[in-house]
A and B are shown apart, each in its own frame.
Chain A
Amino acid sequence: MIWNKTYECMDRDKMTSLQSERLVKLVNYSYENVPYYKKKMDDIGIKPSDIKGIEDLNKLPFTVKDDLRDNYPYDAFAVPIGDIVRIHASSGTTGKPTVVGYTRNDIDTWSELMARTFAASGVTKDSIVQIAYGYGLFTGGLGAHYGAEKIGASVIPISGGNTKKQITVLQDFGSHAIACTPSYALFLSEVLEEMGIDPRKDLNLKYGIFGAEPWSHEMRAQIEQKLGIRATDIYGLSEIIGPGVATECEIQDGLHITEDHFVPEIINPETGDVLSEGSEGELVFTTLTKEGIPVIRYRTRDITSLNYKKCECGRTAVRMKKVMGRSDDMLIIRGVNVFPTQIESVLVSITEIEPHYLLVVDRVNNLDTLEIWVEMSDNLFSDEVRRVEQVRAKIKDEVQSLLGLTAKIKLVEPKTIERSTGKAKRVLDKRKI
């Protein structure tokens, strides 16, 4: 279902006009109300009047996470605190969190965008939706909650963790949809299997709304197969709004960006140059309508590409390719760029193992080493040593083939790699760089 045809199926020329109109207002608004934007623009000699439309977007300075950190907690806000009705914070990797604030209009916008997300995933007002994203300062739980509520679905705000309880609720309340991280969905499917519960026969689950971490097409296929659902990839980040920035449709070929509110660009992460349509690079967003904390050309560090062709679903909104990794969870091993999800694709396609893995990167005698720990399936674990060796060799060859790297493969017992209820920790980088 398309929640808002006016904007999601808008003629491209009309969309560009709308974005230009909004951008001009946004630039003036930010220049006048956010001191650090005034400074950024003054420093490069740009005045708001120099920006006449989105064709001038690349004249504006970038914003990075450190800009928000440096303005902790409230200096990046464009309105007085009295106008802010909500605060969220994402975990900073060091020290203080990144703080974002929302006015009442921002909350309404956010709910509207998440309603589009849920509608695209298959959820309707008659659905029972189980929200297993963590609720609290993290934008995932409350973001999803308000969106499902806007659609009029029956919302079960169960939050993360307590897997047995999640399953009791799935069974007893008959949830049609579940929203959580993809790694948790996979974990749930394992526990269901252990408990002898067949999702197709014993549950009402039809739709999954998964995000907050990168996940491969292969992992999607596995989740869909195990849970008997359509699994939709959703994308967002709290600096932009939270979840609700982009969502897949039933075609599952790219995520439609809510571009009437957020203008995307793809840049070369080294030079900052804007790249042409279809090129892969770093995703940058400019918020067009946020009042509390407007953001200009925010560097997300996510790697993707844009596709402006009209989608078979009927939406005209630009699509971004599924994010397979960040420029900063990207590892460089012996000079080769490696994303954990690339390795995931290899592992998921091998039936004798479970897609629970850990990449252990180290440096020995000045040479980078990659060790891939992966869990054996119960079948493989009780099989002959020869068989285990065959699987090990297969993985090694496929990784070599894909990345040009030789990895040591360590097959471990089922259930030994730590599970997560939130974002999975896939990498242990022991190198002291």
Chain B
Amino acid sequence: MFMEGIQMVFDKQIETAARADMEKLQLSRLKDCVGRVYKNVPLYKEKFDRAGLKPADIKSLNDIRNIPFTLKDDLRDTYPFGMFAVPQKQIVRVHASSGTTGKPTVVGYTKNDLDMWSSVMARLCCAGGVTPEDTAQVAFGYGLFTGAFGLHYSLEKIGAMVIPASSGNTEKQIMLMKDFGSTVLVSTPSYALYISEVMEKMGIDPKRDLKLKYGLFGAEASTEHMRDQLEKRLNIIATENYGLSEIIGPGVSGECTHKCGMHINEDHFLVEIIDPVSGEVLKDGEQGEVVITAMSKEALPILRYRTKDISYLIPEKCTCGRTLKRMAKITGRSDDMLTIRGVNVFPSQIETVLLSSQEVEPHYEIIVRRENWLDQLEVLVELADASLLDNYSKLESLQNTIRAELKTILSLDAKVTLVQPSTLKRFQGKAQRVTDLREE
């Protein structure tokens, strides 16, 4: 049943389930989820009541289309724990990701949720080639973001040897790869390319000097061209995985080593593709916005969450033998969110920081560049008082203050450039504040 190149299938029964069995499981989980959120999450009871909908109305998988969408704003409005479906005492983990304003988006997990998370991500790691014999270097930043923990626990579940390298300190990362014989690299694709450049400068040849075999990449969009580069430069098989903390973190879907679409863990996550304007559900193969229902989560079950990511579904069975439906690489977003060094950034977060300062005007530009594969964020903003430009120390102090505020909110280091009043673009209609100079 399994084609060449398939190392290990973590959960054979689910990953090769017949469509009818999968749909039966999905329906039972969907019904259970709808009942739970109606009972325990005030926001969902309200949404249902307003739509004249009751949990018992969900009788078939198609009935999901009657359920109102969930938006990022819903999580923002219930910050921090207002959407949890269980009492705080049952929460064993809290994570957070970027919110659209000053406060982060908060997610929580029960013990069962953590077990599920590590299992679904373990499936994807195995699909990407990992076995218990591997040594995996996790070069995502460990902390409130879900990336590092998602991979860490799943790799540990598989029984691989986990090196919790966290992010940064590139020369040390390379030393670890060399000395510890890492066979798997986990990071953003752009950081992996950056690492490959530093390796080249250091005279290290991955083929000759390292034992790398697989790369599990995520947290930002990437192209086929980048994958080719990664595979050639690091001598690995590079696969992409997808997730978002509102749903679970990494683990929603991921490529197998045949690299033709990302298998969705659809026994836990129902994926629909909608027209972002009308909200109508589209057919398999049609491109639109990804909407996900996390049916089995206990702490934060989510119905029809609008991710703003653009993709399409691939219904055919994959050559690897898995029957889990695939989704295509994310090609863009239907909102203005940026991903910078794997971190989600909303221009409105930046705006919130700028608006809170009296010394700058709300006229600003955001420029994103990629230099040597590392994303650089620059914020240009107009001073309220031009005379400040003559006072270097005051200027620098204001720059540093804004920079520190941005770092607190974004967890990113931005370059802040203060400019003369009235020098930045003005707009007639919607402001186009962002210039993304990155080509891929």
Residues of B within 8 A of A153 (CB): 92
Please determine whether A155 and B132 come into contact, CB atoms closer than 8 angstroms.
no
In the complex with contacts A73-B179, A87-B180, A157-B149, A137-B93 CB distance below 8 A: no
A402 CB to closest chain B CB (Å) equals 39
Within 8 Å of chain A (Cβ to Cβ): is B162? yes
A149 touches B93 (CB 8 A): yes
Interface residues of A in 143-201 (CB under 8 A from B): 149, 152-159, 162, 164-165, 168, 172-173
Contacts of B163 in A (CB 8 A): 87, 137
Q: Is the CB of A154 within 8 A of B88?
A: yes
Instruction: Tell me whether A29 is interfacial, beta carbon within 8 Å.
Output: no
Q: Are A155 and B408 in contact (CB under 8 A)?
A: no
Rounded to whole Å, the gap between the CB of A130 and the closest CB of chain B is 9
A87 contacts B161, C-beta separation under 8 Å? yes
Query: In the complex where A86-B162, A126-B89, A137-B166 touch, is A164 in contact with B408 (Cβ < 8 A)?
Result: yes
Interface residues of A in 365-417 (CB under 8 A from B): none
Report the bound CA distance from A96 to B175 in whole Å. Answer: 9
- Closest chain A residue to B108, Cβ basis: A154
| Contact A157 B132, CB 8 Å, known A73-B180, A85-B161, A136-B165 | no
Question: Chain B contacts of A137 at CB under 8 A?
Answer: 163-166
Asked if B88 contacts A141 (CB within 8 A), the reply is no
**Does A82 touch B at the CB level, under 8 Å?**
yes
Please determine whether A135 and B143 come into contact, CB atoms closer than 8 angstroms.
yes
Do the beta carbons of B94 and A136 come within 8 Å of each other?
no
* Residue pair B89, A125 in contact (C-beta under 8 Å): yes
What is the CA–CA distance of A159 and B168 in the complex, to the nearest angstrom?
Answer: 15
Q: How far is the CB of A227 from chain B (nearest CB, A)?
A: 21
Q: Mark B393-414, 1 if CB is under 8 A from A, else 0.
A: 0000000000010011001000
Indicate which residue in B89, B93, B164 contacts A155 across the interface (CB closer than 8 Å): B93
Given the complex, which residues of A lie within 8 Å of B81, measured CB to CB?
173
Provide the residues of chain B in CB contact with A159, threshold 8 Å. Answer: 141-144
| CB of A84, distance to nearest CB on chain B (Å) | 5
Residues of A within 8 A of B148 (CB): 135
With A73-B180, A162-B407, A172-B103: A85-B159 Cβ-Cβ less than 8 Å: yes
Which of A72, A96, A137, A154 gathers most chain B CB within 10 Å?
A154
Interface flag for A78 (CB, 8 Å) = no
Please give, as numbers and ranges, the residues of chain A lying within 8 Å of B404 by CB-CB distance.
164
CA distance A141 to B142 in the complex (A): 9
B101 CB → nearest A CB, Å: 13
Contacts of A99 in B (CB 8 A): 180
Question: CB-CB < 8 A to A165: which residues of B?
Answer: 408, 411
Nearest-CB residue, chain B, relative to A99 = B180
| B111 interfacial contact with A, CB 8 Å | yes
Q: Mark B88-121, 1 if CB is under 8 A from A, else 0.
A: 1101111100000001001010010000000000
Pairwise interchain contact A158-B111, C-beta atoms closer than 8 A: no
Does B160 sit at the interface, judged by CB under 8 A?
A: yes
**A144 → chain B closest CB, angstroms:** 12
**A73-B179, A157-B149 in contact; A88/B92 too (CB < 8 A)?**
no
Category for how many chain B residues contact A: 35 or more
Q: Considering only CB atoms, which chain A residue lies closest to B156 in the complex?
A: A85
Decide: A154 near B156, CB < 8 A? Known: A88-B164, A96-B179, A136-B142: no
Assess the B156–A136 pair: CB atoms within 8 A: no
By the criterion CB–CB under 8 Å, are B408 and A162 in contact? yes
With A85-B156, A137-B166 as known contacts, state yes or no: A157 contacts B161, CB within 8 Å: no
Contact B166 A154 (CB under 8 A): no
> A167 → chain B, closest Cβ, in Å?
10
Asked if B108 and A104 make an inter-chain contact with CB atoms under 8 angstroms apart, the answer reads no
Task: Please name all residues of chain A whose beta carbon is closer than 8 Å to the beta carbon of B164 when the two chains form the complex.
Answer: 86-88, 135-137, 142
A125 and B92 CA atoms in complex are apart in Å by 9
A320 near B: Cβ within 8 Å?
Answer: no
Give CA–CA (A86, B160) in the complex, Å. Answer: 8
Cβ of A81 under 8 Å from chain B? yes
Residues of A within 8 A of B224 (CB): none
Which residue of chain A is the closest to B111 with respect to CB atoms?
A: A152
Q: Would you call A154 and B93 a contact (CB within 8 A)?
A: yes
Residue picked from B79, B95, B164, most chain A C-beta under 10 Å: B164
With A73-B180, A152-B111, A165-B408 as contacts: A157 and B159 at CB distance below 8 Å:
no
- Residues from chain B with a CB closer than 8 A to the CB of A162 are 407-408, 411
Q: Give CA–CA (A168, B407) in the complex, Å.
A: 14
Q: Which of B147-197 contact A (CB under 8 A)?
A: 148-149, 156, 159-166, 179-180
Residue B265 at the chain A interface, CB threshold 8 Å: no
CA gap between A15 and B409 in the complex, in Å: 51
Closest chain-B Cβ to A151's Cβ sits at a distance in Å of: 9
Whole-angstrom CA separation of A88 from B142 in the bound complex: 14
Provided the pairs A73-B180, A141-B142, A162-B407 are in contact, do residues A81 and B161 lie with their beta carbons within 8 angstroms? yes
Q: Are A173 and B89 in contact (CB under 8 A)?
A: no
Q: Is A212 an interface residue, CB under 8 A from the partner?
A: no
- Residues from chain A with a CB closer than 8 A to the CB of B180 are 73, 87, 99
Q: Is B347 an interface residue (CB 8 A)?
A: no
| A128 at the B interface (CB under 8 A) | yes
Taking a contact as CB atoms under 8 Å apart, the answer to whether A81 and B135 are in contact is yes
CB-based contact B408/A172 at 8 Å: no
Contacts of A157 in B (CB 8 A): 93, 95, 142-144, 149
Q: Tell me which residues across on chain A come within 8 A of B144, comparing CB atoms.
A: 156-159
| Docked-complex contact A172 and B80, CB < 8 angstroms | yes
What's the minimum C-beta distance from B60 to chain A, rounded to whole angstroms? 37
B63 at interface by CB-CB < 8 Å:
no
Counting chain B CB atoms within 10 Å of each CB, the highest count among A72, A107, A159 belongs to A159
* B residues less than 8 Å from A142 (CB atoms): 142, 164
Interface residues of A in 271-319 (CB under 8 A from B): none
A-B contact pairs, 10 of them (CB 8 A): A84-B161, A88-B164, A104-B159, A137-B164, A141-B142, A152-B92, A154-B93, A155-B93, A168-B103, A173-B81
Which 3 interchain pairs have the tightest Cβ spacing? A135-B142, A136-B166, A159-B143
Known: A86-B156, A87-B163, A158-B144. 9 other contacts (CB 8 A): A85-B161, A107-B156, A126-B89, A152-B92, A155-B93, A157-B95, A157-B142, A158-B143, A165-B411
